[in-house]
Amino acid sequence: MLVRESISFQRGVDPKKALDIGERYLIEKWLKEMESYDTYMADVVINDDLTIDAKIINLEEMNLEKFPEYIQFNNVTGYFSCAHNKLISLRGCPKITRDFYCHDHQLISLRGCPKIITRSLFCYSNKKYFSEEEIKKFCTVGEDIHNYP
């Protein structure tokens, strides 16, 4: 016996979006979930390559241990703050940002931190202390490094 279901799609609408499936849907759902808490995100755009650009991303105090595999921030022109969480990895953080706040975590590595931080980096109070030499192996910081033990 053959069972057929009728699903109607609107012209010009991505079928995955219409069915609420796919990676873009997961990204949109996660961003919306984060916004429902006391976070702040400004001018968020999901690019064609599914990376996320924004002006500001503030995900402080969200009890995050890591970002989902499908989350990859790209260019955050203002600041990116994931401070005061429980991150064990910076995978998913932006590739470039003006200010980067990753203090007060469980970090033992800076792998995944932005390659370019045009102004200031705040990475103190982690499980491991990161010296300026270690930091410079992972990223270029334009002005200030705040890394006190």
Give the pLDDT confidence score for residue 39 in this predicted structure: 76
The Cβ-side half-sphere exposure at 110, using a 13 Å CA radius, reads: 27
Give the three-class secondary structure for 46. Answer: strand
**Where in the chain are the domains?**
15-146
Give the pLDDT confidence score for residue 12 in this predicted structure: 64
Looking up tokens 């702040």 gives 40
* d(C-alpha 25, C-alpha 120), whole Å: 33
Phi, psi for residue 101 in degrees, rounded to 5:
-110, 110
98: closest CA among 50, 59, 46, 139? 139
Strand partners, 37: none
Question: What tens digit of pLDDT does each residue of 14-63 get?
Answer: 555 555 568 999 999 999 999 877 678 999 999 999 999 999 999 999 99
Mean confidence (pLDDT) of the chain: 89
Given a cut of 80, whether residue 67 has pLDDT beyond it is yes
Say what the pTM is.
0.83
Q: In sequence order, which ranges of the chain are alpha helices (DSSP H)?
A: 15-18, 23-36, 132-138
Given a cut of 80, whether residue 77 has pLDDT beyond it is yes
- Over residues 111-125, mean pLDDT: 97
Given a cut of 60, whether residue 6 has pLDDT beyond it is no
Question: Which helix (H) or strand (E) element contains residue 141?
Answer: strand 140-141
Could you tell me the two tokens for 42?
A: 């400004």
Give the pLDDT confidence score for residue 37 in this predicted structure: 79
